[in-house]
Structure formats: C-alpha cells, structure tokens
Amino acid sequence: MRTEKGADEVSYSVGQVAGFGGVTVRTLHHYDAIGLLAPSERSHAGHRRYSDADLDRLQRILFYRELGFPLDEVAALLDDPDADPRAHLRRQHELLTARIEKLQKMAEAVEHAMEARRMGINLTPEERFEVFGDKDPDQYAEEAEARWGGTEAYAESQRRAARYTKDDWKRMQAEVDAWGERYAALVTAGEPATGEAAMDLAEEHRRHITTWFYDCPYEMHVSLAGMYVSDERFKAFYDSMGPGLAEHLRDAITANAARHTS
Amino acid sequence: MRTEKGADEVSYSVGQVAGFGGVTVRTLHHYDAIGLLAPSERSHAGHRRYSDADLDRLQRILFYRELGFPLDEVAALLDDPDADPRAHLRRQHELLTARIEKLQKMAEAVEHAMEARRMGINLTPEERFEVFGDKDPDQYAEEAEARWGGTEAYAESQRRAARYTKDDWKRMQAEVDAWGERYAALVTAGEPATGEAAMDLAEEHRRHITTWFYDCPYEMHVSLAGMYVSDERFKAFYDSMGPGLAEHLRDAITANAARHTS
DNA sequence: GATGGGTCCTCACGCCGCGTGAGGTGCAAG
DNA sequence: CTTGCACCTCACGCGGCGTGAGGACCCATC
C-alpha cells in the first residue's frame, strides 16, 4: 500500500520547458520579465525552476497565443479569478471550433472564386474580399452602396474582360462548349438527372475541373453544384447552355457523387 | 451591340481599398513603402489610385498574411514568376484544408485533456503540449526520452495528485461510481451493447459529461468513446469498473448516437 | 472669397513580441 | 585545472504596423 506522501516535487529547467513547449528560452525569459509566466521557484544558482503548474500555465499561454491573442489579454484570461480549469478547456474547444468554421467558410469562398475564374466571371471588389469574414456586414453593405456605389455597372463592365489567359484557354473553352452541347441535348431528350447518362456527364464535368484547374473530390463537387443554383451568375452560366440545366446538373452531380462514394 | 472599348478604367482611393480589405490606410501606406503593394497609379494630387489588379494582389497579400506568412515571404509568393492565378487559388485551398486539419487535431487533443481531467488522470508534460503539432516527433521523442527521461515514473507519481478540486467533486465522483456499478451489472448480466438498457446508460453518461463538464454532442461523444479504448489509461479507468467495460461502452455509445441522430 | 470639413499626403516616433549577441556564472566530466 | 554546457542578465534591433503632427487639396456653404 502506497503512502500518501503529498505533493511530489518535480520541476524543470528553462531548457526543458522550452523543449516541451516548442518555444525558445528567450521567450520564457520574456514571459518572466513581463510577469506572464514567472517560474514558481529559483534554484540556488538563480536558475529558473518551473513547476508542473507552471507548465500548465505555459500550455494555456501558448494556446491562446496561437489563436492570436495578444499577451496582455492572455494574462487577463489566465488571471481571471473564475479560473476554473474546466472553463479554460471548454473555451479552448469553443475557440477551436469557431476557428474551424471560419476557415471552412474561407475555403468555400476560395472554391467560389475558383469556379468564377473557371467560368470567366470576374468578381466585384466586395466579393473578392468576402473570404475574410471580419466585416460588419450591415454597416459595410451600406457603405459600399452609398459611398462608392455603382458596383453593378462595374461588375457588368468587367464581365467580358475575363479571358486574359493565354492560348490553351481556347482548347479548354472548346471542351466546355462540347460538353455543354451534349449535356443540353441530354436534358432536352428528357433524360433524368439520376440516370446513368447524366451521371456520366457529371463525372466528366468533375474530371474536367480536376485536369484543367484543381483537384475536385466528390464532396467538393457537390458543394460546387450547390453554388451553381445558388449563385445567380453561376446559374446563368449553365442555364445559358439550356433551360433548367443548372438544377439538372446539380442533381446529376449529387447522384454521381453518391454512386461513387457508396 | 456593345463596342469593344478595351479596359474600363476603374480605380480606388486608399480609403476605399482599406474599406474593402478591412485594413487601415496606414497598412496600405506601409505596403507601399516596403514595395509589397504599390498602387499602379497616382492621381494629379499625388493620391494613390489602386487598380483592380491591385485589389487582387491585396486580397492575396491579406490571405497569406492571415495564415501567418511574414510579409517578405508573401512578396516572394506573389512575385513568383510562375504566378498562375490558378496556382494561387489552389495553394490557398490547400493551405486552408491543412490548417483546418491541424485545428481539428488540436480540438481532439483538447477533448482528450478534458476527459483526462474528468477521470482524474494527470497528463505528462509531453502530453500537455501534444496540442501543438509543431514538433519534430522523431527528434523530439528521442530528446524527451534521453535528456530528461523518467517520465514514466513522473506520470505514475502524478496519477494520485489529481483530485485537487473542491467539494462538489465528491458528489460528482459519487455519481460516476453509481453509474459504474449499474453499467458493470449490466455487462455481467450479458446485456448487449446495442440493447436499450446499455444505450440508456450511454446516454446518461453523455448527460453526465454535459452537466458536469462541457457540452458533449453525439458526434463528440463517439469521438470520446474511441479514446476510451485507444488510450491505455482511459481504457484502464473503465475496465477497472468491470472487465471489458471499455469496449462495451464504446459500442453502446456508438449505438446510442446512431439512434439519436437517425 | 473666406471658412470649414473630409480625405489625402509625408515624416517620424513608439509599441509588442520576441531574435540575437555580449559578457559572466556554476557545475560535471575529462 | 580547464573545457564545455546550460544557465544568467543587460541591451540593442527588427517586423508590422498604430498614432499623432503638420500640411495640401477639394468641395460646399456662408
């Protein structure tokens, strides 16, 4: 039977702690100097000795730092009297999921931009910066319209100037056109979107994107398909090939993805 | 029929551009000063006039900056002669998905830490900083073992010192114990993990976590269940209540999640 | 035509979060 | 006894801007 001897005295030197945390010794010196992380003890020779609790604190410091908090705010968070450790872990988890969501939105915006480029649609300035969610949408929208309005005309004027890529652009365009004709014929022939022919053309569409532009797995393809009907210009792009083509294609893409991932 | 008049001359002032990009005018001045983003023109009065291409460049600058690139590297990326715009979008998408993965791993590590805390298991220093994936696992592992080894003994010594929370900790522990007895009885009675009784206790388990520690949706609960069998100490924690309890519980949790989300 | 408000300009200094030496100390091994 | 290593304390510098100070321009209003 073990004796209940109380706290075991373990402590680490700056070098060890720096190793654990993946930071430099200088950083730890700095955190000590500004009072953010003062080692709970000093050795005989004046060397810093970090306790286990200090390590915990460092972990939190580095976590919040990684998420972009300035050090004084980090200190405020850590020295919060309601410093329940559970609360910290909970908050860390919340911050992480929030960041993940933000990045996923950015990724979607990038996909949107890639597709716009693929279709020769130029984006308005607002759309270009839509990637960064950090805008007051309300105040911003007002300002954008009121102060330097006329974006409609601008977008219209830019819509033609999009073919500034070189010569293989033509071959690519030819491929798109050929595919469009075949797909339009399929639609007018009354083929269902879940039919094999439609799914095959959907797959060809995906392959086209992958070979000419960027890798497009099925999941992403479905996401794009959603934009084809939700974004007015994407919809217009496909509907110009044939009436109702955008929706039809979306369903075909969805069905094609389902058949490949099942 | 529209005339092909060539490039439409649109340009924006610093204030407008700052508005679009969500940055300050000073930042644009700075980028001009260091040659990162020089406006393609100046007005009669010496005012900066940003073209549409400049906006594109700014968007990319801000994107890479957001992901933590220093400005000189950003410049290197943007002034890369192979500056195919497609390549940029592709790279942006790759960077984003990489970041998302990293954050998801961090989130998992946080969940791991939360569960460890819940079970009164103290983590080793290495595990504490496992959240940050930025460690050479090989070189690090060697160093950790060779230079300041003895972590096994350390972990052992810490395992008891984990109950440093106050008085309601006891009530919580009592709940855990009661639940454990009931679940053990269920297992010895031969109840299947997919049975209703097991699923009910799994749901109770989830509720316990949610009320005492952190919100635990079904998806996360399943993730935790995986750790109960993959992490040695978690497994030991549950198996100490009854033989084979960890696996049984994992299956019950999975089944319970399926029944609630279907 | 004078006055004001708004946006723009160019210095130039300062802050934060450290990196990077310079110069000195304590201790264990050769 | 010296060599080496990890530690110490200044202290300067750098990147990426924030924050004025002081002035020019433009348009509207009195």
Task: Give the pairing type, strands B41-42 and B48-49.
Answer: antiparallel
Are both B197 and B247 inside the same structural domain? yes
Residue A143 is predicted with a pLDDT of 38
Pair A62, B132: CB distance under 8 Å? yes
Are both A140 and A180 inside the same structural domain? no
- The DSSP H or E segment spanning A176 is helix A168-188
Pair A71, A34: CB distance under 8 Å? yes
Measure, in angstroms, how far nucleotide C23 C1' is from residue A43 CA. 22
Residue B85 lies in a domain: no
Domain count of the fold of chain B:
3
Residue B86 lies in a domain: no
Is the Cβ atom of B72 within 7 Å of strand D at any atom?
A: yes
What CATH number is associated with residue B23?
1.10.1660.10
Measured CA distances, A99 to A102, A129, B100, B106 (Å)? 5, 18, 8, 11
Measured CA distances, B137 to A22, A23, A157, B133, B151 (Å)? 11, 15, 54, 9, 16
Residue A161 is predicted with a pLDDT of 33
Residue A61 is predicted with a pLDDT of 96
Residue A56 lies in a domain: yes
Are both A212 and A145 inside the same structural domain? no
Q: Of A53, A81, A109, which marks where a domain is finished?
A: A81
Point out the residue nearest to C19 (C-alpha to C1'). A26
Residue B154 is predicted with a pLDDT of 37
Are both A256 and A175 inside the same structural domain? yes
Are both B256 and B175 inside the same structural domain? yes
| Region of poorest pLDDT, from A42-46, B94-98, B119-123, B258-262 | B119-123
Mean pLDDT of chain B: 82
Pair A5, A42: CB distance under 8 Å? no
Are both B179 and B255 inside the same structural domain? yes
Mean pLDDT of the B69-88 span: 86
Residue A188 lies in a domain: yes
Residue A4 lies in a domain: no
Q: Which residue of B has its CA nearest to A99?
A: B103
Are both B193 and B137 inside the same structural domain? no
Are both A172 and A249 inside the same structural domain? yes
Is the Cβ atom of A53 within 7 Å of strand C at any atom?
A: no
Residue A262 is predicted with a pLDDT of 75
Pair A237, A229: CB distance under 8 Å? no
CA A107 to chain CA mean position, Å: 4
E strands, chain A, are 41-42, 48-49
Q: Which long-range contacts (CB under 8 A, 24 or more apart) does A220-225 make?
A: A220/A111, A221/A253, A221/A256, A221/A257, A222/A253, A222/A254, A222/A257, A223/A108, A223/A111, A224/A111, A224/A115, A224/A253, A225/A249, A225/A250, A225/A253, A225/A254
Are both A213 and A257 inside the same structural domain? yes
Q: What are phi and psi for residue B167, nearest 5 degrees?
A: -105, -35
Are both B216 and B240 inside the same structural domain? yes
> B261 pLDDT band (50/70/90 cuts)?
confident
What CATH number is associated with residue B176?
1.10.490.50
Residue A167 is predicted with a pLDDT of 67
Are both B174 and B240 inside the same structural domain? yes
Residue B160 is predicted with a pLDDT of 32
Name residues of chain A where pLDDT drops below 50: 1-8, 134-165
| Region of poorest pLDDT, from A61-75, B133-147, B209-223, B229-243 | B133-147
Measured CA to CA, the distance from residue B88 to residue B2 in angstroms comes to 33
Q: Which residue of A has its CA nearest to B113?
A: A89
Q: Of A36, A55, A81, which marks where a domain is finished?
A: A81
Is the Cβ atom of B70 within 7 Å of strand D at any atom?
A: yes
Instruction: Tell me the pLDDT tens digit for each residue of A41-96.
Output: 999 899 999 998 999 899 999 999 999 999 999 999 999 877 677 788 889 999 99
Residue B84 lies in a domain: no
Chain B residues 17-56 within 7 Å (CB) of strand D: 24, 26-27, 30, 34, 44-45
Domain of residue A153, residue span: 94-158
pLDDT at B149 over 50: no
Residue B213 is predicted with a pLDDT of 82
Residue B151 lies in a domain: yes
Residue A123 lies in a domain: yes
Are both B68 and B147 inside the same structural domain? no
